[in-house]
Chain A
Amino acid sequence: MTRTRLIDPKGWIFLAALAAFCLVVPLLNLGVAEGSGLHLPTYLVSLFGKYLAFALLALSLDLVWGYCGILSLGHGAFFGLGGYAMGMYLMRQIGPRGVYGNPVLPDFMVFLNYKELPWYWLGFDHFAFAALMVLAVPGLLAFVFGWLAFRSRVTGVYLSIITQAMTFALMLAFFRNDMGLGGNNGLTDFKDILGFPVQAQGTRVALFVATGIALALGYLVARFMTVSAYGKILIAVRDAEPRTRFLGYRPEHYKTLAFTVSAMMAGVAGALYVPQVGIINPGEFAPTNSIEAVIWVAVGGRGTLVGAALGAVIVNYAKTVLTGAMPDAWLFALGALFVVVTLFMPKGIVGSLIERFGSPRAKAKLPPEPEIAPKLAEEGQG
Chain B
Amino acid sequence: MSDADLLAPVSATATGRPDDGHAPAQTKRVTDALLYLDDLRVTFDGYRALRGLSLTLDRGEMRAIIGPNGAGKTTMMDCITGKTRPDTGIALFDGVHDLTKLDEPAIADLGIGRKFQKPTVFESHTVADNVLLALKGPRSGLASLFGWRNRVEAERIDALLVKVGLIAHRGRPAADLSHGQKQWLEIGMLLAQDPKLLLVDEPVAGMTDAETAETATLLREIARDHAVIVVEHDMHFVRALQCRVTCLHEGAVLAEGSIDAVSADPRVVEVYLGR
Contacts and interface: CB of A to CB of B under 8 A. Distances in A.
Interface of A: 1-3, 225, 228-230, 232-233, 235-236, 239-240, 242-250, 253-254, 257, 360-361, 363-368, 382
A2 B154 contact: yes
A250 B129 CA distance: 18
Contacts of A236: 122, 125, 133
Nearest to A243: B120
A243 B125 CA distance: 14
B153 interface: yes
Contact of B189 (A1, A233, A247, A382): A247
Given A230-B145, A248-B109, 11 more contacts: A1-B150, A229-B133, A229-B149, A246-B81, A247-B113, A247-B189, A253-B141, A363-B173, A364-B124, A365-B124, A368-B124
Contacts of A243: 116, 120-122
Contacts of A240: 120, 122-123
A368 B151 contact: no
Nearest to B16: A152
A229 B147 contact: yes
A360 B128 CA distance: 14
A228 B120 contact: no
Interface of B: 21, 81, 83, 103-105, 108-109, 113-114, 116, 120-126, 128-129, 132-134, 139-142, 144-147, 149-154, 157, 171-173, 175, 189, 193
Nearest to B186: A243
B132 A229 contact: yes
B147 A257 contact: no
The interface centre, meaning the residue of A253, A361, A364, A368 with most chain B CB atoms within 10 A of its CB, is A364
Which 9 A-B pairs have CB atoms at the shortest separation, nearest pair first? Answer: A248-B108, A364-B173, A245-B104, A229-B149, A230-B145, A229-B144, A230-B144, A236-B122, A257-B141
A253 B138 CA distance: 13
Contacts of A239: 122-124
Contacts of A232: 125, 129, 132-133, 144
A257 B124 CA distance: 22
Contact of A246 (B108, B128, B146, B151): B108
A266 B174 CA distance: 33
Contacts of A361: 126, 171
A197 B11 CA distance: 69
The interface centre, meaning the residue of A249, A254, A257, A368 with most chain B CB atoms within 10 A of its CB, is A249
Contact of B114 (A246, A363, A382): A246
A244 B109 CA distance: 12
Given A233-B144, A235-B122, A364-B125, A246 B104 contact: yes
B134 to A, nearest CB: 6
Contacts of B145: 225, 228-230, 257
Contacts of A363: 173
A246 B123 CA distance: 16
A233 B137 CA distance: 14
A249 B122 contact: no
Given A247-B108, A253-B140, A228 B125 contact: no
B22 to A, nearest CB: 11
A233 B104 contact: no
A240 B122 CA distance: 7
A228 B146 CA distance: 8
7 contacts: A229-B150, A235-B124, A242-B104, A243-B122, A257-B145, A361-B171, A366-B124
